[in-house]
Amino acid sequence: MASANGISADGQGLDVQDYEVIEHLRVAFVDVVGEEVIVDLYGGIEPLCGTIRYRFTDRTERRAHRDALVRWANDATVLTYVRRGSQVSLVDDAAVLRRGLGQLA
């Protein structure tokens, strides 16, 4: 797990960066309750489990995210958790790499 807190002055004021990265996670369970998509995760180099709650007011967007998470759970896709400030993302690093390499071909 990597995390950092830093402040830098750039002439425009203060830029506060706060981030956390946790690799080697998998989706254990996905549920939808109202506007929330609830994701249970497990794994990591230092074993952990946790829950992320995403809120999507748009039903189509909520369903698309749920479907992707269920697919990752069914495929046992290894993910990376990335948090910057209050924004949280789950990233399929292997898919990102495949897309990047495909653009080079």
In a domain, 35, yes or no: yes
Tell whether 95 is covered by a domain: yes
pLDDT at 41 over 60: yes
Residues of the domain holding 39: 2-10+23-104
State the Cα–Cα distance between residues 27 and 36, nearest whole angstrom.
Answer: 16
Residue 105 has pLDDT above 80, yes or no: no
DSSP state of 65: H
Residue-level pLDDT at 23: 94
Report the domain count for the chain.
1
Range with the lowest mean pLDDT among 30-34, 48-52, 97-101?
Answer: 97-101
97 in any annotated domain:
yes
pLDDT 10s digits, 50-78: 999 999 999 999 999 999 999 999 999 99
99 in a structural domain: yes
Query: Domain for residue 15, yes or no?
Result: no
Residue 17: inside a domain = no
Question: Can you tell me the mean pLDDT for 3-24?
Answer: 61
Residue with tokens 């109202």: 34
